[in-house]
Amino acid sequence: MPRWRIRSSVPAALAAAGLLLAGCANPSTGSDDDDPTKPVTLKFWHGWSAPGEVKAINESIERFEKLHPNIDVKATGNVTDATINQALRAGGGEAPDVVVSFTTNNVGQYCDSGMWVDLDPFMKKTGLDKKKTFPKTLLDYTSYQGTQCALPLLADAFGMYYNKDAFAEAGIARPPHTMSELKAAAKKLTVRSGEDSYERVGYMPSFRLYQGSPDRLFAQWGPKYFDADGKSRLAKEPASYDYFKATSDLTDAQGGFTDLEKFRLTFGDEMSSQNAFLTQKLAMLLDGEWRGLMLKDAKAKFDWGVAPLPVPDDQADTYGRGFITGTVAGIAHSSKHQNAAWELVRFLTADTDQVVDFANAIHNVPSTFAALKSPKLDADPRFRTFFKILENKHSQALPPTTNGNSYVVSFADYAYSVEAGHAKDLRKGLKKLDDQIDADNLQAEN
């Protein structure tokens, strides 16, 4: 399920020790000299908080402990990146050994700072071939400038949910494959209930809607955010202009920003029974693989399907691609038990049966080649659509930087002004955005 909703949870002992102050200097360094066959207790921090998710990760730990009876894993859930980062800067006995993050955008910081150890030496000595184990897109977002400081622990892929009943009613034979088809379908599926209101909107292009942040749909163009020197190049990227034109055309085709925004404000919470797709206020929705399980649990009153998101008309041959992100696991630089910690990380990320069981339990996309092919996986073809999106060679994740997701936030802020009609000169605005991103990245590096 989406990870942004998780709240912070701080272990009492750590807080009491005053170790969460940002900027603590000289953190303790760990060791990879430990014997992983000796009795040891590992501290494992993760962000899962929903009861079903916590149950699934606890069952995973139980399976690991049966295989490694000498290793006792003490898990702490509902922990944010901010808490993990502060603890690792401080080091000490209360810091975790194994950490899990839901924010792939921070991998650049983890690797560059050394807060998470390089996993390549551990893979080499235990015979794990990462290129044969994990899809390339997942390896890209778990490494930075040659340092593999994390490994993927399930993935999230984004596609298009669509109301089959509404499609049949509108005489639309299949989900749209291109942006022009999306525009035509969205217009045909939109039903007005008054001069400035709606009964249903075909596709809501709002960047503020649920999982619709600008970077998700932008991935369908395959944009290049940075040049070879790490400088932001959004103003030089032709896809930037095509993307904003496509979303603007979608908005205009369905009544304009003002009316659509007014309708969006009537939607219920994304995770509630009043989700706008579930209540049929939307005929199509950009969302991740977890939505399918939620629609089943809610017993949706209409027939629904899943397809890849449409692509630009001049890139029709890339149809099937999508935006990819996911959960990542690593070892804290301060851990004194790094070999034992590696055994846990290796089990969680690379053991085929474990990955399959965990993927089925929390309805996330498996993150290894072997798990994706396992006959034990949930056979629902709608769920498996996301497997194909993950494996598509054109699918894209956000590039990591040492400044985390700062550039993504800046891009989103600019996109909000574009969709509201406040940014008239795209070239000038994107150049200013590039300058801001470069300045923020330079400040973070210094």
| CA count, 13 A, side-chain hemisphere, 75 | 19
| DSSP character at residue 306 | E
What pLDDT, in 10s, does the model give residues 227-256? 999 999 999 999 999 999 999 999 999 999
- Longest Cα–Cα distance of the chain, Å, equals 73
What single DSSP character describes residue 50?
Answer: S
Mean pLDDT of the region 382-408: 92
Q: What's the Cα-to-Cα distance from 263 to each of 62, 256, 266, 437, rounded to whole Å?
A: 47, 11, 5, 33
Amino acid, res. 212: G
pLDDT in tens, 255-276: 999 999 999 999 999 999 999 9
**Domains observed in the chain:** 12-156+325-391 (3.40.190.10), 158-318 (3.40.190.10)
Confidence of residue 18 (pLDDT cuts 50, 70, 90): very low
Q: What is the pLDDT of residues 152-202, one digit of tens each?
A: 999 999 999 999 999 999 999 999 999 999 999 999 999 999 887 899 999
> 259 to each of 188, 198, 206, 256, how far by Cα in Å?
17, 8, 12, 6
Contacts of 347 (CB under 8 A, 6+ apart): 63, 64, 67, 68, 354
Distance of CA 31 to the CA centre of its chain: 31
pLDDT bracket for residue 324 (50, 70, 90):
very high
Which tens digits make up the pLDDT trace of 106-152?
Answer: 899 899 889 999 999 999 999 999 999 999 999 999 999 999 999 99
- 64-88 residue pLDDT tens: 999 999 999 999 999 988 888 888 8
Q: Are 105 and 404 in contact (CB under 8 A)?
A: yes
Q: Which two tokens stand for residue 268?
A: 């219920």
Give pLDDT, residue 7. 33
What does the mean pLDDT of the chain come to?
91
3-state secondary structure of 352: helix
Residue 121 parent element (H or E): helix 120-126
